[in-house]
Amino acid sequence: MSSAPPSHPRPSTRRLLLGAVAVLALLLAGVVWLESLHPQLDPSGNAVQGVPPLALDDEPTCRRFVDEAPIDDIRERLASAAAVERVEEGLPPGGRISSTQVYLCPSAYDGKQVTYVGEVVGELLPRRGGAWAQVNDDEYALVTGPVVGHRERAGFNTGLSVWLPDDLAARIEAPGRPALRGDVVLLRGTILRADPDDGGGITLRATELETLAGPLQLEPPLHTHQAVVAVVLSLLAMAASLWARQVRRR
């Protein structure tokens, strides 16, 4: 008479769930701990020198937000007219502007000769007679540099679409990408509110270009604690795999 195989107690579902939650909590705590130990670069030396001040300190807004109430529409029209007048009175020919100022009141800058400073990012798009470039003038472009190796957060990426004639486009050394700040250039040209060559978008038609800073490569520092933890976890995983094989052979 054959004896019944020995029974093995099965862990309850509750214990399995508690164990899984505990493991996930430990993993999350480990990730947070490692992130807190991550060495950081000092971005203070990334600020671009020689950037002229903005011609206007404020950002007049002249967008229309039409509401059903006529009085609100009238107020928006008056506010827009005041913003356009503020720009026309305060912006000297060739004064430096920001992309945010232009987007908040495009009609006020249409056809104006301006100065614009920013970082060439992405890719140059060659066309007959020149190339299109995205030129950003946010804090990452002019002050802190790419968000690599530091935790300086300064809002969103903002910039203008810029048309560069062939002779100016040829002077761009390297557009920016992750871990690389591209050429920071001072441009002079004309703002177009609805450029037909750009599908009716807002553009800057550049006629002059001055390079304020060449490409800047940022190398993130080695996270030694993370490397040690990765090696230890790999060894533990190998040991667990070997132990599981030994158990199955018994």
> What would the pLDDT profile of 27-55 be if each residue is shown by its tens digit?
888 777 777 666 666 667 788 999 999 99
Give yes or no for a contact between 120 and 141, defined as CB atoms under 8 angstroms apart: no
Structure confidence by residue, pLDDT tens digits, 83-141? 777 888 888 999 999 999 999 989 899 999 999 999 999 999 999 999 999 999 999 88
Residue 15 lies in a domain: no
Question: How far is residue 13 from each of residues 8, 20, 152, measured CA to CA in Å?
Answer: 15, 11, 45
Q: Is residue 199 included in any domain, yes or no?
A: yes
CA distance 124 to 29: 43
pLDDT tens string 52-65 = 999 988 888 876 55
223 domain-assigned: no
Does 179 fall in a domain?
Answer: yes
Query: Does residue 84 form part of some domain?
Result: yes
In a domain, 69, yes or no: yes
Number of folded domains that form the chain: 1
Sorted by sequence, the CB contacts under 8 Å of residue 135 that are 6+ apart come out as 116, 118, 119, 120, 121, 159, 160, 161, 162, 185, 187, 204
Instruction: Enumerate residues 6+ apart whose C-beta is below 8 A from 226.
Output: 34, 37, 38
- Which of the residue ranges 95-99, 227-231, 236-240 would you say has the lowest mean pLDDT? 227-231
Instruction: Specify the higher pLDDT residue, 124 or 219.
Output: 124
Q: Does residue 207 belong to any structural domain of this protein?
A: yes
Q: Which of 46, 73, 160 is nearest to 109 (CA)?
A: 160
Give the strand pairing for 159-165 and 201-213: parallel
d(CA 234, CA 139): 40
What residue numbers bound the domain in which 191 lies?
Answer: 43-217
Q: Is the pLDDT of residue 209 over 90?
A: yes
225 in a structural domain: no
What CATH number does residue 182 fall under?
2.40.50.140
User: In angstroms, rounded to a whole number, what is the distance separating the alpha carbons of residues 134 and 202?
Assistant: 12
